[in-house]
Amino acid sequence: MLLALALLTAGCAGSKLPPPDMSAARSAIAEADQSGASEAAPLVLRNARQKFEQAERAAENEDYEAARFLADQAQVDAELAEAKARSATAMAAVEELRESIRVLREEINRSRPSSGGQ
């Protein structure tokens, strides 16, 4: 009985989680910022920052499970914000190409000799 109690106590003492490594979330937020997410996805980026701040507070309070969970959420939100920013950039490039194609077609049509009347 004492052995079982000792093993249970040792198991509980050893189950305390170490502080989470939040560098991936921090990096994801920085990358989202650099990709233009503050303009393309400001709410998603703000959510990522808020969750990261909550994760930092949870880690300071030694609530490592919550800190890890919030840091993971912050990272996912930041990656979503970055994806939205990259998508917006790609869509702008597509629109620019479409406009260039339209202008080129107009130029081609103007430079063709008209075949009507001769």
pLDDT tens per residue, range 45-73: 999 999 999 999 999 999 999 999 999 99
Angle at 92 between CA 106 and CA 111, to 5 degrees: 10
Is 19 a residue whose pLDDT tops 90? Answer: no
Instruction: Report the predicted TM-score, pTM, of the whole model to 2 decimal places.
Output: 0.73
Of 4 and 57, which is predicted with more confidence?
Answer: 57
* pLDDT value for 115: 58
* pLDDT value for 15: 47
Residue-wise pLDDT tens digits, 85-98? 999 999 999 999 99
Q: Which of 34, 115, 114 is nearest to 78 (CA)?
A: 34
Structural domains in the chain?
Answer: 18-109 (1.20.1270.390)
